[in-house]
Amino acid sequence: MGKIINCNKSVDVGINGLCTQCGTIHNLKLFPQTENDVKINFNNMREYKKAEKIAGYGNKSDRSKGDFYPTPSFVLFPILEKENFEGTILEPCCGEGHISKELLSKGFDVTSRDLFDRGYGETGIDFLFMPQPKTFDNIITNPPYNLALEFAQTSLMVAKKKVALLMKINFLEGVKRKTFLENSPLKYVYVFSKRQTLTRPDWEGKNKGFITYAWFVWEIGYEGETIIKWL
Ligand SMILES: C[S@@+](CC[C@H](N)C(=O)[O-])C[C@H]1O[C@@H](n2cnc3c(N)ncnc32)[C@H](O)[C@@H]1O
């Protein structure tokens, strides 16, 4: 929370650094005048950096806005064949609704939301901002990759039964993620034996698989070892 000084005027920013008025990131100009201003602006810079990350505007200029890589049905269906999802489902970052539409067509009770308006679901909702604990039975999504850990942590707060996240296999590595994974009810990692390609909507290259993805499935209350399976 705080203020960003934007072209001589101040705008309020939420905890994620996005403007509370319009939900976008404003150009940051720093005008430190007093010691207090310096402190405020230091916080703003951190918020701004975080907002850049959320919006996917980071260093990689070719990154799709909000890390938007839609999930094809052939990547979703294998997990629906392996896992049962009883009750309500939240798709918290639905994009254009690729996952949600398939789930609805199979008769699931689905709520779809996204931070960005891509013409589907309830929009302008930051899943990571003030999550409401235990409000949906299940969460199924393909989260933005630059916020994968944050999405996994928040999903476990929000879901009552299961969380299924499509992520790169290398989510398994990393010191921070090790601590999280070891202390979470991660039941299955379903690894795609064939590499998959999830492309940006504007991608015009050849559609060859080059990334190893997996469905990570958490079951709330599970205390056993994580089991690896192959799709
Ligand atoms: C990898 S895409 C996946 C889209 C969709 N889940 C699918 O599988 O087709 C990630 C989506 O996360 C959304 N997103 C990014 N940050 C978000 C946030 N903090 N809260 C909600 N949605 C967010 C993006 O707008 C984008 O649509």
Task: Write down the pLDDT at residue 56.
Answer: 41
Predicted local confidence at residue 165, as pLDDT: 98
Determine which residue's CA is closest to atom 6 belonging to ligand 1. Answer: 94
Structure tokens at 113: 């939301």
How confident is the prediction for the chain on average, in pLDDT?
A: 79
**Pick from 4, 41, 10, 2: nearest CA to 25:** 4
pTM of the model: 0.75
Give the sign of the dihedral formed by CA 80, CA 86, CA 220, CA 111: positive
Q: Which regions of the chain are under pLDDT 50?
A: 1-42, 45, 48, 51-63
Counting ligand 1 atoms within 8 A of each CB, the residue from 93, 165, 167 with the most, and so the one to mutate, is 93
Nearest Cα neighbor of 47 from 25, 23, 21 is: 25
Q: How far apart are CA 216 and CA 228, in angstroms?
A: 10
Residue 208: the pLDDT is: 61
How far is 97 from 119, CA to CA, in rounded Å? 9
Tell me how far the alpha carbon of residue 174 lies from the centroid of ligand 1, in angstroms: 22
Residues with CB under 6 A from ligand 1: 54, 66-71, 92-95, 98-99, 114-116, 118, 126-128, 141-142, 144, 147
CA distance 162 to 148: 17
CA distance 94 to 111: 9
Distance 187 CA to ligand 1 centre (A): 24
pLDDT of 195 reads 75
Q: Tell me how many helices (H) and strands (E) the chain has.
A: 5, 10
Of 114, 153, 154, 163, the residue with max ligand 1 atoms within 8 A of its CB, to mutate for a pocket test, comes to: 114
The phi, psi pair for 160, rounded to 5°, reads -95, -25
Q: How far apart are CA 11 and CA 58, in angstroms?
A: 21
pLDDT at 207: 59
Which helix (H) or strand (E) segment holds residue 112: the answer is strand 109-114
CA of 226 to the centre of ligand 1 (A): 26
Ligand 1 atom 27, closest CA:
95
CA distance 53 to 130: 18
Query: Are residues 213 and 168 in contact, defined by beta-carbon separation less than 8 angstroms?
Result: yes
Q: Which domains does the chain have, with CATH numbers?
A: 2-55 (no CATH), 73-230 (3.40.50.150)
C-alpha of 111 from chain center: 15
Measured in angstroms, how far is the CA atom of residue 190 from the centroid of ligand 1?
21
Q: Looking at ligand 1, which residue's alpha carbon is closest to its atom 2? A: 68
